[in-house]
Chain A
Amino acid sequence: TVGCVALDIHGNLCAGTSTGGMNNKKYGRIGDSPIIGAGTYANNKTCAVSCTGHGEYYIRLGFARDISALMEYKKLGVKEACAAEIQKLTQLGGTGGVIALDANGNMAMEFNTSAMFRGYIKSTGEKEIAIFAEE
């Protein structure tokens, strides 16, 4: 799965996710990637979210929308909200990761696996590309 979240100079957020699904899948199985609110969500009031991982768990949690709800109703920051949601994923037995970005350019790249291919660039010049958890 690949994904991207972006904030443009007009202050608008967008999230996108694309996937080849699960190896050896049957029965027309579909994961969270194309499901709005599960693998992808964006709202200028809160954040833009793209997920990667074991889709069934993300669907059951309403993962991406839940992060937005944690920010909107519980007033969590984007990083805190993503960390809390990954905690829920872990407790449920799921694995994967998430990237998110709020309207102020604050971002999160959280995961409970040993690696997630990831990177970001901000208009401030701040930049990172990483693979493993310890990076």
Chain B
Amino acid sequence: QEKYAIVIHGGAGGRSKTTMSIEQQNNYKAKLEEALAAGEKLLKNGASSAEAVVEAIKIMEDSPLFNAGKGAVFTSDGKNELDASIMNGENLNAGAVAGVRTIKNPITAAREVMENSEHVMLSGKGASEFARQQGLETVKNKYFFTRKRYESLKALQKKQRKRTSADNTG
């Protein structure tokens, strides 16, 4: 069989053409194109679907455009906390990491859990420790900081604290 295919997504939401400039749309499309091309190149050369999935996702994780890796949103305490998972259809093997703050590319950690551990999901500090032991790149949490996402957090928190008539009770 020489047939291959790759499909990607970069998140779903309530955006419309009126809220996104043509330049923004083109930026997103260019990054999607880059991720697809990287995955396709691997598949065309006989690489496994897992390799293609990890490579395509890494490109999107490294981009501040998407809510993953470098473009992650913030928790209420102003940190970036990431999750990732991967599953192999051939043998139903699977791996995941949850609530990690220092693994540069969480999808690579998920793959390590899948291929080099007896577990399916690792979380928090333990997952980061495992990733370090597997030789994956770790970064300080501030690596994931982006101004746009931080402002989004602050705007949401301000909205939540906005005084209403209910605050007058008692």
Contact = CB atoms under 8 A, between A and B. Distances in A.
A3 B43 contact: no
B contact residues, range: 35 or more
A19 B35 CA distance: 16
B5 A18 contact: no
A99 B111 CA distance: 20
Which of B50, B54, B61 has the most A CB atoms < 10 Å from its CB?
Answer: B50
Q: Is the interface of A mostly helix, strand, loop or mixed?
A: strand
B15 A114 contact: yes
A8 B46 CA distance: 7
B34 to A, nearest CB: 10
Given A2-B57, A28-B99, A114-B14, A23 B89 contact: no
Contacts of A104: 3
B84 A19 contact: yes
A21 interface: yes
Contacts of B90: 12-13, 44
B148 to A, nearest CB: 11
A100 B5 CA distance: 11
A42 B87 contact: yes
Given A22-B73, A123-B2, A116 B12 contact: yes
Contacts, number: 303
Interface in A18-32: 18-26, 28, 30-31
A20 B73 contact: yes
B11 A1 contact: yes
Interface string B77-108: 10011111111111010101111000000110
Given A18-B57, A24-B157, A1 B89 contact: no
A14 B40 CA distance: 14
Given A16-B54, A18-B107, A20-B68, A52 B32 contact: no
Closest 3 CB pairs of A and B: A20-B72, A117-B10, A13-B89
Interface of B: 1-17, 20, 25, 28-29, 32-33, 35-37, 39-40, 43-44, 46-50, 52-54, 56-57, 60-61, 66-69, 71-77, 80-90, 92, 94, 96-99, 106-107, 110-111, 120-121, 123-124, 144, 149, 152-153, 156-157, 160
Interface of A: 1-26, 28, 30-31, 33-36, 39-45, 47-48, 50, 52-53, 95-97, 99-101, 103-105, 107, 109, 111, 113-123, 127, 129, 131-132
9 contacts: A9-B2, A14-B53, A18-B84, A20-B81, A24-B76, A53-B12, A104-B3, A107-B7, A129-B29
